[in-house]
Amino acid sequence: MALLGKLSGNQQDQFLSIMFESLTVDRRSQLCLWLQGDFQRFLPHELLMVVIGDFAADRLKVEVLSSVPGDPNVGACRNRENLQSISEALFGRWKSNGRRMLAFDGPWAHMSGVDCSSAAGETGRIGPFTMAHGLRDERSGEDALYIALRSDRPFDDHQRKMFTLLMPNIDHACRRVVALAGGHGYEPHASRAALAIPDDDSGLSAREVEILGWVRAGKTNQEIGMILGISPFTVKNHMQRIFRKIDVINRTQAVAKFEGYRRAAQ
């Protein structure tokens, strides 16, 4: 969060705005508009490749999103085999790097060991400058890899840090729109009734239900804070209250009891 302290007041407002906007995205057109708006001030790019699934079992779904207004719907490319091969190679590099963000300033073929010429033809434009980062959904066991590309110049250090900082929001918006998570996603604005948690059984507030839902989705305190626009310390305080209210001592027990309330109410 120290990075945000270096932004001007107006930039901080813009950053918080794009974080909150990610929670309202529910259509592909909205996702593209979100990527084309103020998001470009912090992470300018041309294409975003989204790859989510079980990499080990080779069960993946690939989406290509254009971040340039007026571009054709590149997400409907005919043959994604080459794109999947590239993403699998990048996933291996990302995983061996401790699941930390990767950045490359050279041709894809050099960085991944994969011939990308036909993939470039499929998407219409794949530039030589690339960043790759992702998140793992511990509940579903699926990994998500997000690959940002641009053709004019390398991503600078500030943009690389922003990519990491915005990753939970990118992940949330893309999973909702492209439905790549196999139906395991958690709806952040779901009501208590929709979550099937009776008030008299749990005693949890709407915010606590929301946070516990994100815990159930495998998010860390830092990721939850970034998604909800609150500090990780505030998330931790909420978690401590949740533990006391439902009489558990850790996150695993809390999620198990959360599921118990849901089953009992069905």
- What's the rounded Cα separation, in Å, for the pair 94 and 124? 25
Which amino acid is residue 140, in one-letter code? S
Pick the CATH number of 192-265 from 1.10.10.10, 2.70.98.60, 1.10.3720.10, 3.40.1350.10: 1.10.10.10
H-state helical runs in the chain: 2-5, 9-22, 28-36, 39-42, 81-96, 108-112, 117-123, 157-165, 167-178, 192-195, 199-202, 206-216, 221-228, 232-246, 251-265
Torsion angle defined by CA atoms of residues 89, 55, 132 and 149, in that order, rounded to the nearest 10 degrees: 80
Axis crossing angle, helix 221-228 with helix 167-178, rounded to the nearest 10: 70
Question: Is the pLDDT at 230 greater than 50, yes or no?
Answer: yes
Domain boundaries, the chain: 2-178, 192-265
Q: What percent of the chain has pLDDT over 70?
A: 71
Axis crossing angle, helix 9-22 with helix 167-178, rounded to the nearest 10: 30
Split at pLDDT 50, 70, 90, the class of 55 is: confident
Among 11-15, 16-20, 39-43, top mean pLDDT goes to 39-43
- On whether the pTM is more than 0.85, the answer is no
Q: What are phi and psi of 49, to 5 degrees?
A: -90, 130
Q: Which fold has domain 2-178?
A: Beta-Lactamase (3.30.450)
How high does pLDDT run on average in the chain?
A: 75
- What's the rounded Cα separation, in Å, for the pair 247 and 170? 34
